[in-house]
Structure 1
């Protein structure tokens, strides 16, 4: 399985650190020249590969860690996202519910990625927490996942476990997605809930 992170801000860095901790190779891309962030990637680990957006979107699993407003630009990088899983890590703080047409933000994002399978996840924690080792006090830090595609949700759940997290499935993008999204200037009930699961 091949992985890429689109967006290399604080959340992109946090995700890259999670992959590096487990020695799993992942491409990272922005709209900038890869040379401009190559040193940042190298500082995280040898398996963090700076690349172009055009190369990164060839991965089978793509983490969308850009500003919500930028998701249509990323979606245009491919004519179809058939066979790919997109993990929506965007947040919509400050975006009015009217702009989303009453839908969850992930439903809006999913419509842009034609043919792809979208999973909402890894977005409810701030970057400073997400980048920490998820092994906490003998338990594992929780990440919430929501998707309208059960197979994709299971796939990302397995990846979350490989990265050391404890995934909790919230159901579909509408009901589950709303629990982990911002609405205007308010927060979904599970945003910022830093939970640890003990087996």
Structure 2
């Protein structure tokens, strides 16, 4: 199956590095165009190529590795998904300007981390994102760990646990196979409605939990 990555920030680049390390091909894209990714693809070798957002989105499995505040504009502008898999790697948070009032808001428990939670009026973030990718089969994954640890799927004699959830069994099986091929230990949290909130930053019970399967 072909793999696309939309977003070349910390998450997108980290996933691309793990894919490259395991010889798994992928197309990575960002809003600035393929030329801006020349350094990254040179670093990663021939298995990772730069493309346009539309090219990355045409893959069989597409990782949405973009900020929540950009998700609707980026994903809603793409052509029909026609049953392809979208991995929701997003979290419903906004990154704060360190000089803004929000960054010094005493009522925001996340201000010290440079983020604030986005109010979705009680909706699950994956349900909201699914509305941006109508016709896609959405699987939540790659969002609950600090991106700095994603570079090491195998550590301390075991495999790092990666949670995933979704409503389509075949799509989940394909994502599970990808997670395993990357060297992680996949753990199925069930449906999007159950697993999504459990693993979503900033308040999910399993968010930022760094488990190792030994």
Question: Normalising to structure 2: TM-score of the pair?
Answer: 0.85
Determine the structure 2 residue equivalent to 1:83.
Answer: 83
Q: Report how many aligned residue pairs link the two structures.
A: 192
Determine the structure 2 residue equivalent to 1:131.
Answer: 151
> SS of the counterpart of 1:174?
helix
Per-residue Cα deviation, 1:115-159 (whole angstroms, up to 9, x for no partner): 000000011111111122x11222111100011112111110111
Determine the structure 2 residue equivalent to 1:141.
Answer: 160
> SS of the counterpart of 1:168?
strand
CA contact (8 A) 1:54 1:77 kept: no
Q: Which runs of 5+ in 1 are unaligned?
A: none
User: Hey, which bits of structure 1, 4+ residues long, moved more than 6 A?
Assistant: none
Q: Larger deviation: 146-155 or 61-70?
A: 146-155
Using a 3 Å threshold, how does the CA distance of structure 1 residues 30 and 136 change in structure 2: closer, same or farther? Answer: same
Q: 2:205 aligns with which of 186, 189, 192?
A: 189
Determine the structure 2 residue equivalent to 1:72.
Answer: 72
Q: 2:141 aligns with which of 113, 116, 121?
A: 121
Determine the structure 2 residue equivalent to 1:177.
Answer: 196
Question: Normalising to structure 1: TM-score of the pair?
Answer: 0.92
> SS of the counterpart of 1:55?
helix
RMSD (Å) for aligned C-alpha atoms:
1.3
Determine the structure 1 residue equivalent to 2:9.
Answer: 9
CA contact (8 A) 1:53 1:77 kept: no
Determine the structure 1 residue equivalent to 2:184.
Answer: 165
Q: Distance in 2 between matches of 1:2 and 1:193?
A: 29
Question: 1:39-50 to 2 correspondence within 5 Å?
Answer: 39-50=39-50
Q: Which runs of 5+ in 2 are unaligned?
A: 94-115
Determine the structure 1 residue equivalent to 2:107.
Answer: none
Q: Distance in 2 between matches of 1:106 and 1:42?
A: 33
